[in-house]
Amino acid sequence: MFSITINTRDRRPLLGFIRNGEFYPSKVGQAVAECWRKIPEYYPQAELIIHQVMPEHFHGLLRLNPKNPNARIVGKSPAHLGRIVGGFMIGSTHAYWNVLGIDWKAYTWSKAQRKEPFHLGVEHKESTQGPALFERGYNDVVPISDEQIDTKIRYIATNVERRQMKRDNSDFFAITRNAKSANWTVERIKQGLLADRFIGKDAASVAQAWQKIASMLNLSTEGTPNIDWLGNKSLLTATTKVSVICHRADVLLFEQQKAKTIEAAKNGAIVVSACINPKEREIVKALQAELLPVIKVADNGFDTLYKPSGKAFYTCAEGALTEITPWKHRTVSKDDEQTLSREMCLTANELVRIVAQCPDTWWK
């Protein structure tokens, strides 16, 4: 099973527009959808699950069955995903040229040119026949579990709805860059490192830990730490906040901590957490299920197109979420996605304490 995402060139809205929660495809968008539906005619091993055309990108979910007796063979093996998606992109681009009135069929290719069907330049903007419809390449994800597949189907099916929600609540999805906090200082971060029983054992360990963290933090040119954030600003300025930091020493008291936190949120407190360990994430998940307000300290910086995903998207649109990050954005591989260093965890929790302005044990 593969989830495919393809962006239009320069993310131009060539495929349609959204109005009042409905997607209206352009002629090109209609042609792209038709090209997708025709994939099994050319590659019978491809089973199409769901797709969604968006103004500037395309989502599709498909399953490959190479054992299909009618599978199209390329060389000695059934056509692979890259060839199938490449054929879809070529067909869609030809349809785009048809809309533009380009007589691409009249063009005669040499044998050398046939090896590179688009003949696109270095920036993949235009060929000898016409402009490119899509950006070079595509993103593909292989969902493994049934839950992951269901999640992808829901994501694709609700793409238009989420886009409309983002547009209607644009203030909640706008990223504020390089904000300052009087309490968020280099000295305070080092205090958090010093308080750790391992890193804080000597000055050299603290200095080494700071050097590691400093390269990841969003620091100004003067060396002061910045914070990026998005969501409901009123959560940050709320009078009453409580932290969720789960310690191993309190593992037997977790249900008490969870109950006290939910009770506090229902009574108007804003919950602040870095969601580092499973227990913290469990509490935040329970809060978001009831649309209770949360400030989350993210474990990565925000890239230009960042927005919360999954249920967090909806809680953000409802004004029940603010995400803040002290980090520069970094590209994270799938293998490293769940790995946070001890120094990162300590720094994130120190920011939780600064925002919440309450002790970790407030709930006892």
pLDDT per residue rounded down to tens, the chain (364 residues)? 888 999 999 889 999 999 888 999 999 999 999 999 999 999 998 999 999 999 999 999 998 887 877 777 666 567 888 989 999 999 999 999 999 888 877 765 555 554 444 444 444 445 556 788 999 888 777 766 777 788 788 888 888 988 888 788 889 999 999 999 999 999 999 999 999 999 999 999 999 999 999 999 999 999 999 999 999 999 999 999 999 999 999 999 999 999 999 999 999 999 999 999 999 999 999 998 888 999 999 999 999 989 998 788 888 988 999 999 999 999 876 555 557 899 999 999 999 999 999 999 999 9
Contact between 192 and 349 under an 8 Å Cβ cutoff? The reply is yes
Contact between 40 and 65 under an 8 Å Cβ cutoff? The reply is no
Strands 294-297 and 270-273: parallel
CA distance 300 to 238: 24
Domain extent listing, the chain = 2-157, 170-356
Find the helix packing angle between 203-214 and 186-194, rounded to 10°: 130
Architecture label for domain 170-356: 3-Layer(aba) Sandwich (3.40)
Contact between 230 and 174 under an 8 Å Cβ cutoff? The reply is yes
CA distance 150 to 170: 27
pTM > 0.85: yes or no: no
Could you check whether 2-157 and 170-356 share the same CATH topology? no
Architecture label for domain 2-157: 2-Layer Sandwich (3.30)
What's the CA dihedral at 276, 280, 283, 284 to 10 degrees? Answer: -20
